[in-house]
Amino acid sequence: MRSKKWVITALLFVMVIGTGARVYAVRKSITVQDIENVNDKETKQKITEVFLSDGHKGVNVNPEEAGGIEIVKGNFTGTEGIVVSVEFGSKLTLISVYEKNGKSYRFIDDLGSFLKIESIMPAGLKPEGKDLIFIKENANQTMGSYENTDFMRGYFWNGGNFELVFNIPSSIDSQWYDVKDDGSFLWRKVLHKSVAEFENGNEPNISRSIKNEYYTCSCHKSEVPEDKDFQLNSSNETEEVYYWSGEWKRFILAEGIDKTTQEAVAVIEDWESQPYALVPQFEDNKNKVRVVRRNGTVSVADKNNIDILNE
């Protein structure tokens, strides 16, 4: 009797393990055929389900809420792959990267959550032998001010995950007001426009032509005035060049030394190129830069506290 029990237990164990193996083997994946038929309703639902099971674990969305799906092909990790973006309403887009694996695609990493995506563009990075992913995102929001901003973000595969290696506003249209002593409103408005050109080669760089404008309007209403009611106070135009650093593995403006800590830093944004530096209450922005340190942390520093090495 005891030997029979052992035989039955062993058979059950084999059956359970075998069943588990079969379930694992039929796990869904995004296939080459799926990508070719991405506009088909059933295929679109399948892609969304696989997409959400692969990444974006902290985002609470329903696959049935998916809107448009965009596929962008490129060589993002050193081999053929795709960027998959899925819209969920007008203010949420999720983006992931996949690598081709035979007739299907293997999940590599998710790039995160975005508001409204204007474009996704691959760009070859010659020294690294792979493509960057440039994403233009529109962030139209009202949080104490009325602001509509476009950001240009660049992502690069570092061998373990995708890192943000370029992140600047490409356009800003922002209005806000202060209440004066007599109860009237002083409206302020800043505009920022920049045109960026990416140049590939042995020394890749991104050159930017920038124009900033600062306007004011005194009135007795809390609604945003019409454009014609604003008066131009000041403006400037400038140029700047970001170059690819093989050492820092990102686009930077310059390298320097933090005088306080003696740490090496890379300057990744000059706040003087933003329109807010024209506003009297934010004039100190002219003296600020954003830097990244060897450990990857990003912080704001005073210009006079950074010794620039490669000017």
The reported pLDDT for the residue numbered 3 is: 44
Between CA 138 and CA 212 the distance in angstroms is 19
Closest CA to 114 of 70, 144, 172, 49: 70
Q: CA angle 31-34-38, nearest 5°? A: 150
The reported pLDDT for the residue numbered 145 is: 66
Domain ranges of the chain: 27-114
Through-space distance between the first and last CA atoms of the chain, rounded to whole angstroms:
87
The reported pLDDT for the residue numbered 311 is: 57
The reported pLDDT for the residue numbered 63 is: 87
The distance of Cα 92 from the centroid of its chain, to the nearest Å, equals 13
Q: CA angle 262-267-271, nearest 5°? A: 120
The first and second tokens of residue 262, run together, are 């003696």
**Other C-beta atoms lying within 10 Å of the C-beta of residue 30:** 24
The reported pLDDT for the residue numbered 12 is: 37
**pTM (2 decimals)?**
0.86
Mean pLDDT by 10 residues, the chain (311 residues): 41 39 58 94 94 90 90 96 95 96 96 94 95 94 75 95 96 92 91 95 95 94 89 97 96 96 96 96 95 95 92 57
The reported pLDDT for the residue numbered 139 is: 86
